[in-house]
Structure 1
Amino acid sequence: MAYEFAQVEGDFMSLRESDLKSVLPNRMLFQAFLEQLRTGHQVLLTDVPSIPLLIQDRDEWGNLYWPILAGQSCG
């Protein structure tokens, strides 16, 4: 499932309610969903994220890891 890491959207500030109506959990308000994204309780996967939240990197020993990018526009 690591291939999905690159699909995690990090640009929460540009998300519009009209674009997400089809993916909002049942009876969850848009603002509550955004808060769930900000706190990491939910993630939003997209084929091409505006700003990916995770970028694959390698440590000094060559091990792969997926850091959360600092300074993201996560609101």
Structure 2
Amino acid sequence: MPTVIVGAVKVTHVSGNGTINVGDVLQIAPKSTAKTNSGGGGTNTGDFLQTNTLLSVTNSFDPDISDANNKANN
């Protein structure tokens, strides 16, 4: 199915494992996974950004063994 984009598209950064898709796609599967723990407002990105965080507590306790399995996607 064709894709019609109305307006501007701004791509600021794509790393080696990133994927940008504009158009038809059947399946996009990740080739790698990662986990990041950050506090409130820690990973905000954008133009003219302002964050006001009075108190931030990050709980990084993770009792499970595996979060995302992508071994078959390589």
Instruction: Give the TM-score normalised by structure 1.
Output: 0.22
Whichever structure has more helix as a proportion of its residues is: 1
Task: Name which one, 1 or 2, has greater alpha-carbon Rg.
Answer: 2
- Report which structure shows greater RCO (CA 8 Å, sep ≥6): 1
Instruction: Give the TM-score normalised by structure 2.
Output: 0.22
